[in-house]
Chain A
């Protein structure tokens, strides 16, 4: 459905581009600080655009209650959760590719030059974001103000991901090699595994009305 309509990537991409432009313009007054600001720029952009994407993804499932039909199916609910996490991770990674490309132009070309080394912390960050976001967007569905509740719940819980991934991005842009990123990367792996297991266990309760 996304390949045909490109609805999610388009809306996330536009929000991401807007956020990049605003931050790029704001940072233009201090070009020497651009590299230092890069981790924040990347993750502020990805966080807000990805949250929008998660909310849109849930809205598409709610349109004709297709999500309920998936729950009717003879599939373990934890399997449904894992499948959704995988799909959301792909979407967030696609967003990150666009954001890295855009930030290379609008913020600092160093971001583009180090894209390969930025991949592991960004990818692990995307997994963490998707894993928590999938669970919380299911939870937020049963509330009245779901568009507001999702970012309020999601952003504080993924803050450790943003901090660790942002720290790794900063180290890479300062010239660190992959081997010296051990601390943040190990933290990200542990976080992703912990919330994946928690999410798989809690998902069936999150989707209950």
Chain B
């Protein structure tokens, strides 16, 4: 019996206001795969990741994480780590308090130990007792990464994860994701940058017109090719 893919979205539709942002989108990513999703502003990249993370319910179609519906199954949600545009932390709590809280929610033994480790992993050790509200944009992004990776997810969804990161943090992120993939985790990220896509992912899709075009090798995706694909009606070569 074959193993379920890590992520399987089939015929997914989702509207934002009166406009269908995702129109019958399908995506399958095997365990251990790494996929970059590129697209213009407003193309639906964030909506797609939020649907995969079970923060949005598709109006039609199905999403499965290792064969289970993440909306209905807490066990499926346990396997997901998600970083969005917002850090998803409590502003009035320190970094360590936030991470300890989420470690408890994820059922981890010794939540504080896991929280400390997550802080070290993303280079936030010196800021662990700083209230989240007092962190800079880049440090907030690191804290969000710590939250997403705290529980050792095997499906990692990252929405423009390099936003606000300095060079050191970017290198840490790339190393972290390589390490995760080495352990068999599946990574899906959205980005505007083909260069970033080729550093982090093996395959790339372009989201345009509510559907995905691809896959193609992320390393082969130059800026010019991407612009062509974002134009209406241009097929993937």
Interface positions of A (Cβ within 8 A of B): 1, 4-5, 7, 60-61, 63-66, 68-76, 208-209
B102 in the interface (beta carbon within 8 A): yes
1/0 per residue, CB under 8 A from A, across B138-170: the answer is 001000000100000000000000000000000
Our pick among A1, A64, A74, A209 for the contact of B56 (Cβ within 8 Å) is A209
B87 in the interface (beta carbon within 8 A): yes
27 A-B residue pairings within 8 Å (CB atoms):
A1-B90, A1-B92, A1-B93, A7-B92, A61-B90, A63-B90, A64-B87, A65-B86, A66-B89, A66-B98, A69-B147, A70-B105, A71-B54, A72-B54, A72-B55, A72-B82, A73-B102, A73-B105, A74-B74, A74-B77, A74-B78, A74-B105, A74-B107, A75-B105, A76-B74, A208-B56, A209-B55
Interface positions of B (Cβ within 8 A of A): 53-57, 74-75, 77-78, 80, 82, 84, 86-93, 98, 102, 105-107, 132-133, 140, 147
Q: Cβ of A68 and Cβ of B74 under 8 Å apart?
A: no
How far, in angstroms, from A202 to B110 measured CA to CA in the complex? Answer: 33
A68-B84, A209-B55, A209-B56 known; A73+B90 contact, CB < 8 A = no
**Which of chain B's residues have a CB closer than 8 A to the CB of A60?**
90-92
**Which of chain A's residues have a CB closer than 8 A to the CB of B98?**
66
**Which of chain A's residues have a CB closer than 8 A to the CB of B74?**
73-76
Q: Which 7 A-B pairs have the closest CB atoms?
A: A69-B88, A65-B86, A74-B74, A74-B78, A73-B105, A1-B92, A66-B90
**Which of chain A's residues have a CB closer than 8 A to the CB of B82?**
72
How far, in angstroms, from A76 to B55 measured CA to CA in the complex? Answer: 14
A1-B92, A74-B74 known; A64+B106 contact, CB < 8 A = no
B157 to chain A, nearest CB (A): 10
Our pick among A65, A76, A208, A209 for the contact of B88 (Cβ within 8 Å) is A65
Please give me the residue from chain B that is nearest to A68 by CB atom.
B88
How far, in angstroms, from A70 to B89 measured CA to CA in the complex? Answer: 9
Extra 6 A-B pairs, beta carbons < 8 Å, given A66-B98, A70-B105, A73-B106: A4-B92, A65-B84, A68-B88, A72-B53, A73-B105, A75-B74
A6 to chain B, nearest CB (A): 11
B108 to chain A, nearest CB (A): 11
B109 to chain A, nearest CB (A): 15
**Which of chain B's residues have a CB closer than 8 A to the CB of A65?**
84, 86-88
Please give me the residue from chain A that is nearest to B135 by CB atom.
A64
**Which of chain A's residues have a CB closer than 8 A to the CB of B147?**
69
Q: Cβ of B87 and Cβ of A5 under 8 Å apart?
A: no
Q: Cβ of B54 and Cβ of A5 under 8 Å apart?
A: no
How far, in angstroms, from A184 to B116 measured CA to CA in the complex? Answer: 51
